[in-house]
Amino acid sequence: MKEKERSIWKNFLLGLVATPLTAFIGLIVITLIGGVDQVITKIQLSGHWWLILIFAFVPSVLYFIYEPKIKISHERNKVVNALLLYWREQQTKRNHPDPSEEEIKLVRDFLLERVKIWAWFNPELWKTQFPEEKYSDTLFGIVDTFIPYWKNQKSKYNIKTT
């Protein structure tokens, strides 16, 4: 699926159209930053500088609580995107029509589910979740066993190919 490039004139026109909205959002952000700066200055002048440390502690704690989950989710999505690309290449090699956006979304969700289970490296767990598919030691093997499964299940989801 090739995306068409926009012409330079269309980019200029889109930039011109977006300028008032961008300026308005920038004005709001600068105003908020100015307000925060005034509050920080008042706190410092009144001698309660330790309040700044307390306010800074909250986002720091939130970051370190959610950072591992965000990293895991990001890495998992990278793997699923790679598997989705491999799946699409396999579909092309087998002369299947290009999948629709709906089909790509469904396959992505299925692959994400399989990657979550596969990460446990437990063939028994795999058999309980996906009894129709063979457990694979490699990530690309997941896609290879998924392709025949998807071919049989595709009709259940009423997907139209493009």
Torsions phi, psi for 62 (to 5 deg): -60, -40
Q: Are 129 and 117 contacting, i.e. CB atoms less than 8 angstroms apart? A: yes
pLDDT digits (tens, 9 = 90+) for 89-126: 988 898 888 888 888 999 999 999 888 888 888 888 88
Nearest to 107 by CA among 75, 143, 74, 72: 143
Q: DSSP 3-state assignment of 120? A: coil
CA of 109: how far to CAs of 44, 76, 113, 150, in Å? 51, 12, 6, 12
Helices (H), the chain: 8-45, 50-93, 101-118, 123-129, 139-153
The pTM of this model reads 0.60
The percentage of the chain sitting over the pLDDT mark of 70, rounded to a whole number, equals 95
For the chain, the distance separating the N- and C-terminal CA atoms, rounded to the nearest angstrom, is: 11
Q: Is the pLDDT of residue 1 over 50?
A: no
Q: Is the pLDDT of residue 134 over 80?
A: yes
Which two three-digit tokens encode residue 68? 């591992």
pLDDT digits (tens, 9 = 90+) for 9-32: 888 888 889 899 989 998 999 999
Q: Where are the domains of the chain?
A: 1-48, 67-157
Evaluate the CA torsion angle 151, 157, 158, 162 in order and state its sign: negative
Q: Are 80 and 118 contacting, i.e. CB atoms less than 8 angstroms apart? A: no
User: Where residue 162 falls among pLDDT bands split at 50, 70, 90?
Assistant: low
